[in-house]
Amino acid sequence: MVYRCGLLTAQKEPVPLKSVEVQLEVRDHVATVVSTLNYENKEDKPLEAVFVFPLPGDAAVCHFSATVGQTQIVAEVKEKQKAREDYDDALSSGQQAFLLEESEQSPDIFSLSVGSLPPGESASIRLEYVIELNVQADSGLRFCLPAVLNPRYQPQGSRDGGSGNIQVTSCPSSLVPYTLSFSAQVSSPRPVSRIESNCSLDPLQYLNSEQTKATIKLAAGHKFDRDVELLIYYKDAHQPTAVVEAGQASAGLGTLMGDPVVMLSLYPEFPEAVMSSVATCGEFVFLLDRSGSMDAPVNHTNRNETRISSARDTLLLLLKSLPMGCYFNIYSFGSSFESIFPKSVEYSQGTMEEALKKVGEMEANLGGTEILKPLEHIFSQPCIPSQPRQLFVFTDGEVGNTKQVIDLVKKNSHAHRCFSFGIGEGASSALINGLAKEGGGHAQFISGSDRMQPKVMQSLRYALYPAVMDISVTWDLPKDVYATVLSPPITSLFQGQRSLIYAGLTGQISEAAEGCVTVKYSLAGHPSQNQLQFNLKPTEDSGLTLHRLASRALIRCLEMEDREPRQQQDESVKKKVVELSVQSGVSSAFTAFIAVNKGNGEAIQGPLVRRNVPAPRMMACGMPAFQSARGMMACRMSAPIGLPVFKSATGKSKMEILVGVFLCYILSF
Q: Quick one: pLDDT band at residue 646, thresholds 50, 70, 90?
A: very low
Q: Is the pLDDT of residue 89 over 90?
A: yes
User: What's the pLDDT at 361?
Assistant: 95
pLDDT digits (tens, 9 = 90+) for 305-334: 899 999 999 999 999 999 988 999 999 999
Calculate the CA 566 to chain-centre distance.
28
Diameter of the chain by CA atoms?
79
Q: Quick one: pLDDT band at residue 78, thresholds 50, 70, 90?
A: very high
Mean pLDDT (the chain) is 80
Q: Is the pLDDT of residue 608 over 80?
A: no
Report yes or no: 546 and 263 within 8 Å, Cβ to Cβ: yes
User: What's the pLDDT at 374?
Assistant: 97
User: What's the pLDDT at 278?
Assistant: 58
Residue 124 backbone phi and psi in degrees, to 5: -115, 125
User: What's the pLDDT at 589?
Assistant: 92
Q: Is the pLDDT of residue 497 over 70?
A: yes
Domains of the chain and CATH, by start: 17-146+176-235+586-615 (2.60.40), 279-464 (3.40.50.410)
User: What's the pLDDT at 42?
Assistant: 82
Pairwise CA distance, residues 418 & 530, whole Å? 25
User: What's the pLDDT at 280?
Assistant: 62
Which range has the top average pLDDT, 20-29, 203-212, 493-502, 539-548? 203-212
Q: Is the pLDDT of residue 550 over 60?
A: yes
Number of C-beta neighbours around residue 653 at 10 A: 10
Which range has the top average pLDDT, 269-283, 297-311, 319-333? 319-333
Among 87-96, 138-147, 215-224, the least confident range: 215-224
Q: Is the pLDDT of residue 40 over 60?
A: yes
pLDDT digits (tens, 9 = 90+) for 519-546: 888 877 788 888 899 999 887 666 899 9
User: What's the pLDDT at 652?
Assistant: 37
Calculate the CA 573 to chain-centre distance.
23
Q: What percent of the chain has pLDDT over 90?
A: 42
Pairwise CA distance, residues 645 & 641, whole Å? 12
Among 279-293, 377-391, 433-447, 517-531, the least confident range: 517-531
| 240 phi-psi bin (left φ>0, alpha ψ -120 to 50, beta other) | beta
Pairwise CA distance, residues 64 & 394, whole Å? 35
User: What's the pLDDT at 667?
Assistant: 33
Among 21-25, 292-296, 564-568, 603-607, the least confident range: 603-607
User: Exposed, middle or buried by CB within 10 Å (0-12, 13-18, 19+), for 337?
Assistant: buried
User: What's the pLDDT at 76?
Assistant: 95
Degrees (nearest 5) of the Cα angle 600, 605, 610?
110
DSSP code per residue over 476-494: E--TT-EEEE-SPPP----
Per-residue pLDDT averaged across 394-402, rounded?
A: 88
User: What's the pLDDT at 614?
Assistant: 45
Query: How far are the Cα atoms of 52, 84, 126, 140, 173 from residue 223, in angstroms, in the given order?
Result: 19, 34, 21, 25, 9
User: What's the pLDDT at 257?
Assistant: 92
pLDDT digits (tens, 9 = 90+) for 338-350: 999 999 999 999 9
Per-residue pLDDT averaged across 391-408, rounded?
A: 91
User: What's the pLDDT at 242?
Assistant: 87
pLDDT digits (tens, 9 = 90+) for 177-216: 567 789 999 998 889 999 999 888 999 999 999 999 999 9
- Amino acid of residue 317: L
